[in-house]
A and B are shown apart, each in its own frame.
Chain A
């Protein structure tokens, strides 16, 4: 390699420059590797957080998908439960007698001992029996086979969530209780079937009876209201802004407004709903309809933004072609552009609704966190929603609610995954590249 030529006035000659670059390379490549390492570490951190979140929820939540039940032969004693007294009657005494049959040593006149014995049964057991007898009074005087949930502490014991080797005073069930439970287990009376109550029951103060029916129906009504309001309004607004609005300050103002609304904290929408819908308009508290109304206001910006993007992606050649055959501007938009944009609009709408389904804070403010033990019959009845139910359960002190909270989260996440999968499917199936 030839070096400095006479005309070359450069102090750093070719050779030394190359040499300097070569020397610095190792250090510089190391720096780049460090940067890449940090990048990968950041990604691993984020993903592992997601994994920890999911595993913790799944590992606590799967317990709630089964529920320990006990099978009892109950003699519906006409003396305790006279037919004319229904729906009142000594259902708990009848159940105590049925339990006592397995423990002859227990004196059923001793109230404390009886209470200890029946503590295995869920508090709801007597109501299950009552509903059964009320539905069919001919059962009085007969022996019915009843399968009822056990109470939370024994459910935990059966699922191994109560460690038998911890000292007795730190356990929620003492040694005698464990012995009784084990005896019932030996008799083959204990079973752990699928917890259908999680879906078919509404909320309850007792974990073993608490279910999501009310919350699911409440969420359904709220989401339906949200969709019926935000979908037409959002599409209308988007079509106006994208296709018809003149470029003036009014349109700009609406546009800025929508962008800002999309970023307003959700709790502020709750305040709006509380003051305006409930305070001024006098709409009922805790009603899914009001929740849906609030969610609609929050979802609208999302739908507008998605719709405008979808409309924008329809190429001008389609519009020109329609205009060319003498269609009016409205006909072009409603008969050509809008149908072509529909897949994109639907995708955006579903994603918006999925967000609305997980939204909690505004629903808390309008009272959808009430304790309601029956499913709502209409959108105007008091109800909870899935996310607020999760909040209520997460706040409950009973141990059994931990796994139920996780289970409810899993149900919520399942719905979200299904909605997002639907959105992705729609996008892949119908979206065309122009």
Chain B
């Protein structure tokens, strides 16, 4: 049944295509010269049918669920929803849906069974309505397109206008995505700040979203002071950069200036492999190898090290970022013109001096751009920290302690139940908002620096 509208649509498009080509041929066989080739008349009809009808079908399918849900909830007998919060209402909706799907648990009330029957009826009505609408609209469009066929009709321009429109749509999807992100985060964040004061979130130093352990906690669900979470992200990102920046820069310098050609050709792709390893693999590597190694080393020098230290998570994240920084730095170093290198060498600089005193300083803007992008990656990186960092938020900057991170909290708060009005879930969106804003600022800034730098030496 879900496929029917699509099948009808494709059929209608094919029919329209064929009819228009026939019509155009007929005109030409009468000896009249066509403005556009027959194929374009056919394509015109095809596109004219597919584009609007497909949009219609997709919109219908996307909105159907919500509309039916409204109708269903409104049709429930008076009183059954009284006094329930929205979470419980959602639960009832879900139960009715699963009954309609044939999965009955326990013995539901009669009104739920009736509602389930109504739900099935609504769905069928909607499906039939959709089929009827698709048939009517497609037929009308085929007819309209056929009416357009004439010797002087500019079918090619018509087709090209439609394709151009489609391409603009494709480009605009990127904007829609951004709007979607901003809208989703904003709505949920505003809801969150209605439950928890902004100042508490931004400046509070106590983060206990799960367990209400004391009476005096703000919002009965827990405490939402995000400072220790932010601090944890900063600590882990710092560890990552302390590993990645020197290693990345030094290897870029070596590869760019000193490495024999063959060595460079082999090593560069190997380093790229590090960038291609999925982060979940790094996460597992952290808990399988790195964390135990750090712990063991700590014990051997008499330190008591937690099993999920910022050092392990940050260190592994640093390994992931090495190729990122080294390839950015390599590009930046390569962009420094040969004339500057020649200038330094001709003065009698050694290659090392040329690199460190002339080429590297000249490449710093580009390198800074790359490092900033790496920073944004580090604070947005999720899987490594989810797997290797801790869950408890602590106010500490000791990398040997277990700390948590913004992304860890987002994931742990959202795994499991997702009622959209409890502060726990909403807190994840507020954290997501902070993460999005922070990375956005860094990215815009970094991309601008990188672009400016490229312009200097282009």
Nearest residue, chain A, Cβ from B66: A282
Chain B residue numbers with a CB within 8 Å of A239 are 167
A31 within 8 A of B: yes
- The 7 sampled A-B contact pairs (Cβ below 8 Å) are A42-B251, A43-B254, A46-B247, A49-B322, A264-B436, A275-B185, A282-B66
- Among A42, A261, A280, A329, the residue within 8 A (CB) of B250 is A42
Q: Are A260 and B258 in contact (CB under 8 A)?
A: no
Q: How far is the CB of B109 from chain A (nearest CB, A)?
A: 24
Chain B: interface residue total (CB-CB under 8 A) = 96
Chain A residue numbers with a CB within 8 Å of B62 are 281
A-B CB pair tally, cutoff 8 Å: 276
Q: Is the interface of A mostly helix, strand, loop or mixed?
A: helix
Q: Which of A77-85, A97-105, A173-181, A296-304 contacts B (4 or more CB under 8 A)?
A: A296-304
| Cα–Cα distance between A52 and B66 once the two chains are bound (Å) | 51
- Given contacts A267-B380, A268-B432, is CB(A354)–CB(B276) below 8 Å? yes
Q: Are B251 and A236 in contact (CB under 8 A)?
A: no
Q: Are B277 and A271 in contact (CB under 8 A)?
A: no
Q: Are B287 and A394 in contact (CB under 8 A)?
A: yes
B187 within 8 A of A: yes
Chain A residue numbers with a CB within 8 Å of B435 are 265, 267-268
- Among A39, A52, A60, A265, the residue within 8 A (CB) of B407 is A265
Q: Which of A122-130, A339-347, A405-413, A426-434 contacts B (4 or more CB under 8 A)?
A: A405-413
Chain B residue numbers with a CB within 8 Å of A328 are 156, 160
Q: How far is the CB of A280 from chain B (nearest CB, A)?
A: 7
Per the 8 Å Cβ criterion, residues 255-285 of B in contact with A are 255, 258-259, 267, 270-271, 273-274, 276-285
Per the 8 Å Cβ criterion, residues 375-426 of A in contact with B are 387-388, 390-391, 394-395, 402, 405-406, 409, 412-413, 416, 420
Residues of B within 8 A of A (CB): 62-63, 65-66, 69, 156, 159-160, 163-164, 166-175, 177-178, 180-181, 183-185, 187-188, 246-251, 253-255, 258-259, 267, 270-271, 273-274, 276-285, 287-289, 319, 322-323, 326, 348, 350-353, 355-356, 373, 376-377, 379-383, 386-387, 407, 410-411, 414-415, 418, 420, 428-429, 432, 435-436, 439-440, 443-444, 447
Per the 8 Å Cβ criterion, residues 229-254 of A in contact with B are 232-237, 239-241, 244-245, 253-254
Q: How far is the CB of B1 from chain A (nearest CB, A)?
A: 13
Q: Are A35 and B356 in contact (CB under 8 A)?
A: yes
Chain A residue numbers with a CB within 8 Å of B160 are 328-330
- Among A31, A265, A402, the residue within 8 A (CB) of B439 is A265
| Cα–Cα distance between A233 and B167 once the two chains are bound (Å) | 8
A57 within 8 A of B: yes
Over the window 349-384 of chain A, the binary record of Cβ atoms lying under 8 Å from chain B Cβ atoms (1 yes, 0 no) is 000001101111100110101000000000000000
Chain A residue numbers with a CB within 8 Å of B185 are 268, 271-272, 275
- Among A257, A387, A409, A413, the residue within 8 A (CB) of B175 is A257
- Among A49, A269, A413, the residue within 8 A (CB) of B274 is A49
| Cα–Cα distance between A21 and B267 once the two chains are bound (Å) | 35
Chain B residue numbers with a CB within 8 Å of A270 are 414
Q: Are B177 and A394 in contact (CB under 8 A)?
A: no
Residues of A within 8 A of B (CB): 21, 28-29, 31-33, 35-36, 38-43, 45-47, 49-50, 52-53, 56-57, 60, 232-237, 239-241, 244-245, 253-254, 256-261, 263-272, 274-276, 278-283, 285, 297, 300-301, 304, 328-330, 354-355, 357-361, 364-365, 367, 369, 387-388, 390-391, 394-395, 402, 405-406, 409, 412-413, 416, 420
Q: Are B171 and A237 in contact (CB under 8 A)?
A: yes
Q: How far is the CB of A68 from chain B (nearest CB, A)?
A: 22
Nearest residue, chain A, Cβ from B250: A42
Q: How far is the CB of B314 from chain A (nearest CB, A)?
A: 14
Q: Are B250 and A260 in contact (CB under 8 A)?
A: no
- Given contacts A265-B435, A267-B380, A275-B429, is CB(A47)–CB(B288) below 8 Å? no
Q: Are A259 and B447 in contact (CB under 8 A)?
A: yes
Q: Are B168 and A240 in contact (CB under 8 A)?
A: yes
- Given contacts A39-B253, A268-B435, A390-B284, is CB(A260)–CB(B440) below 8 Å? yes
- Given contacts A56-B288, A265-B381, A265-B382, is CB(A45)–CB(B247) below 8 Å? yes
| Cα–Cα distance between A410 and B386 once the two chains are bound (Å) | 21
- Given contacts A233-B170, A263-B376, is CB(A365)–CB(B187) below 8 Å? no
Q: Are A268 and B253 in contact (CB under 8 A)?
A: no
Q: How far is the CB of A292 from chain B (nearest CB, A)?
A: 15
- Among B63, B174, B377, B420, the residue within 8 A (CB) of A257 is B174
| Cα–Cα distance between A269 and B439 once the two chains are bound (Å) | 13
Q: Are A394 and B171 in contact (CB under 8 A)?
A: no
Q: Are A265 and B380 in contact (CB under 8 A)?
A: yes
Q: Are B352 and A35 in contact (CB under 8 A)?
A: yes
Nearest residue, chain B, Cβ from A424: B269
- Given contacts A271-B429, A272-B184, A330-B160, is CB(A280)–CB(B387) below 8 Å? no
| Cα–Cα distance between A369 and B173 once the two chains are bound (Å) | 28
Q: Are B274 and A46 in contact (CB under 8 A)?
A: yes
Q: Are B167 and A237 in contact (CB under 8 A)?
A: yes
Q: Are B246 and A261 in contact (CB under 8 A)?
A: no
Q: Are B418 and A39 in contact (CB under 8 A)?
A: no
| Cα–Cα distance between A395 and B387 once the two chains are bound (Å) | 8
- Given contacts A236-B170, A412-B278, is CB(A365)–CB(B288) below 8 Å? no
- Among B285, B356, B387, the residue within 8 A (CB) of A56 is B285
Q: Are B380 and A268 in contact (CB under 8 A)?
A: yes
Q: Are B253 and A267 in contact (CB under 8 A)?
A: no
Q: Are B280 and A257 in contact (CB under 8 A)?
A: no
Chain B residue numbers with a CB within 8 Å of A361 are 279, 382-383, 386, 407, 411
New contact pairs (16) apart from A264-B436, A360-B382, CB-CB < 8 Å: A35-B355, A46-B247, A57-B285, A239-B167, A263-B443, A263-B447, A264-B440, A265-B380, A267-B432, A268-B380, A274-B414, A300-B174, A360-B280, A369-B415, A387-B280, A390-B284
Nearest residue, chain A, Cβ from B411: A364
Q: Are B278 and A241 in contact (CB under 8 A)?
A: no
Q: Enumerate the 3 nearest inter-chain pairs by beta-carbon distance, A residue then B residue, closest first.
A: A39-B254, A265-B380, A358-B278
Chain A residue numbers with a CB within 8 Å of B381 are 265
Chain B residue numbers with a CB within 8 Å of A263 are 373, 376-377, 439, 443, 447
- Among B66, B167, B436, the residue within 8 A (CB) of A240 is B167
- Given contacts A236-B171, A274-B414, is CB(A268)–CB(B181) below 8 Å? yes
Chain B residue numbers with a CB within 8 Å of A40 are 254
| Cα–Cα distance between A70 and B184 once the two chains are bound (Å) | 54
| Cα–Cα distance between A245 and B171 once the two chains are bound (Å) | 10
- Among A276, A283, A360, A365, the residue within 8 A (CB) of B180 is A276
Q: Are A29 and B350 in contact (CB under 8 A)?
A: yes
